[in-house]
Amino acid sequence: MKKYKCSVCGYIYDPEKGDPVNGVPPGTPFENLPRSWACPRCGALKPMFHSIGEHIFTHNILRGFYQSEDFVYYVIAVVLFVAGVSIIGVAVMHFLRGFSIINILNAVNDVLLVIIVMEILSTVLMYLTERRISLTPFLIIGLISSIRRILMVSALMSANESMTELQFHHSILDLLVSAGIVLVLIFSYYLLSRVTATSERCIGCPGYEKREEDRPEL
């Protein structure tokens, strides 16, 4: 049986030994591994493997592609970090200007923006380290954005005393829509956390069965 080598980290899949990390028993040929099988060392998928001795030109191109993709993500992570630190600076400036309602609202607004940036940053870092994307940060980002919108509209309403009746109705509608979005997102978050918790512990639940199907036939 042919051995296969990971183009990313150099790990060698030896069919004689199998892959104890992923529960693949000895004697399983590489071709029989499920499509979802990934390198136990770096998480690269099956197309990133080549049989030892095979021409590796294509794999080197693929490897270069993955590395340049990672580079872009690292740049994005640095930009997000710098943006987060800058917004914290602006928030401190807002806070130091005085204790007016508008300044405090601006500072709270900035802090919420920092949380959004940090959520995106954690998503990028999760992808770089674990090669997976979670839905949770996007729900949190939506939630914070809606709360920011509510704060902003409330601040405008309290600051603008000469508001016409039409503007007032528009603002109220805006607040109601944002509040509705907040409720929907909280409910979605609750459902998502329940589904995740259930599929992780319950034999026979959809998530569990899916993982079982992915296992190689013994």
- The rounded distance, in Å, linking the Cα atoms of 217 and 33 is 8
Minimum gap (Å) between residue 37 Cβ and Fe ion: 12
User: What b-and-e string marks burial along 152-170, b requiring 16 or more CB atoms within 10 Å of the CB?
Assistant: ebbbebeeeeeeeeeeeee
Nearer residue to Fe ion within complex by CB, 9 or 88? 9
Alpha helices in 48-133 (DSSP H): 57-96, 101-130
Minimum gap (Å) between residue 130 Cβ and Fe ion: 14
Nearest alpha-carbon partner for 154 in 184, 183, 125, 175: 175
Residue 13 three-state SS? strand
Q: What angle do CA 201, 204, 206 make, to 5 degrees?
A: 85
Nearest alpha-carbon partner for 22 in 39, 5, 8: 39
Minimum gap (Å) between residue 44 Cβ and Fe ion: 4
Minimum gap (Å) between residue 199 Cβ and Fe ion: 27
Number of Cβ atoms within 10 Å of the Cβ of 44: 19
- The rounded distance, in Å, linking the Cα atoms of 8 and 42 is 7
- The rounded distance, in Å, linking the Cα atoms of 112 and 87 is 10
Nearer residue to Fe ion within complex by CB, 13 or 109? 13
Nearer residue to Fe ion within complex by CB, 50 or 94? 50
Contacts to Fe ion by CB under 5 A: 6, 8-9, 11, 39, 41-42, 44
- The rounded distance, in Å, linking the Cα atoms of 23 and 121 is 32
Minimum gap (Å) between residue 48 Cβ and Fe ion: 7
Minimum gap (Å) between residue 146 Cβ and Fe ion: 41
